[in-house]
Amino acid sequence: MKIKRLVALLLVLLLSVGTLSACKFGDGGTTTQEQTEAPPIKDAPFEPTESAIFVRDDGTMVGAEITDFSKDYYDLAELKTYVEGLVKEYNQKKAGLEYAYTADAPKEKKLPASISKLEANSGKVMLMLECQTPADYIRINDLDLTADGLRAVTKTTIKEMNSEGKTFDVKLVNVKGESVTVEQTLRKTDYHVVIVEGATVLQVQGEVKYMSTNVTYVDYDCVKTPAGEVSYIIYR
C-alpha cells in the first residue's frame, strides 16, 4: 500500500477521496476558457484545490493528493511519520538516499521523490510530492497497478518525437475544439508533449495549444483527462 492510498489505510475510512476540479491560480480564484488576460506564461503557481498533477518543461513533476481530514481521531503527526517512512524507503531503494525532504539530503544529490507539503486545513489534508520524473510518482504510489484512475504519465517534446520518428495516432484539436493536423503539430518543434493514461487534472508549465479529442480544456495551462484512456496534451 503506497502513498496515494495511505490516508485511507491510516485514517480508517474516508467518505471521499476528492473529485477532479479546475486548477487554482495565485490570486485565489479559478478561471475559465473565456478569460481574456492569463497569468504570465510559465509563472503560474501550482495551487490545486483538488487532487492534481503538475508537469514541468524539464520533466520533473509535482503530485498533490487532497482528501478529507475532518474526523477528530485523525492524527496528522502519525500520518506525517508514515509518509516520511514510505518516501525514505522509496528513495533508498531507487538512489541509496534515505531522506524524505530535499533540505535534509546532500546538496549535490537529487531525491527521486520528496515531500514538499503535508498539512491539514479546513477539514482537508494535502500531501504534495516533488518527483524527478513522472515515473517516480507512478511507482511510489503503485498507480500502475490500479484498475482505474491515473496509471501513467510521460513527458516528451515535439523535437524529441521527430528525432525518434514518432507521431500521433489520435485526432487533435486546439483549445477552441477546432481540428488540427498531425503534420501541423509536428512542425511545432518548440512545443512540449504530456501523455497521460487515466484520469487526472493536469497543470503544465506553459500554455496548452493542442490536445487529443478526449481531453477537457479547463484553462490556459490546465486540462482534465478521462479514466481508462490515453490522452495527449501539447503545450508551449
pLDDT digits (tens, 9 = 90+) for 44-88: 889 999 999 999 999 999 999 999 999 888 899 999 999 999 999
24 falls in which pLDDT band (50, 70, 90)?
low
pLDDT digits (tens, 9 = 90+) for 183-200: 999 999 999 999 999 999
Rg (alpha carbons) of the chain, rounded to whole number: 18
What average pLDDT does the chain have? 85
SS3 34: coil
pTM to 2 decimals? Answer: 0.84
pLDDT digits (tens, 9 = 90+) for 147-175: 567 999 999 999 999 999 999 999 999 99
Q: Say if residue 43's pLDDT is above 90.
A: no
**Interval 26-36 mean pLDDT:** 39
Q: Which residues of 16-30 are buried (b: 16+ CB within 10 A; e: fewer)?
A: ebbebbbbbbeeeee
Within its chain, how far is the Cα of 219 from the centroid?
A: 15
Cell 525532504 belongs to 101
SS3 89: helix
Residue 26 has a pLDDT of 37
Residue 142 has a pLDDT of 83
pLDDT digits (tens, 9 = 90+) for 225-234: 999 999 999 9
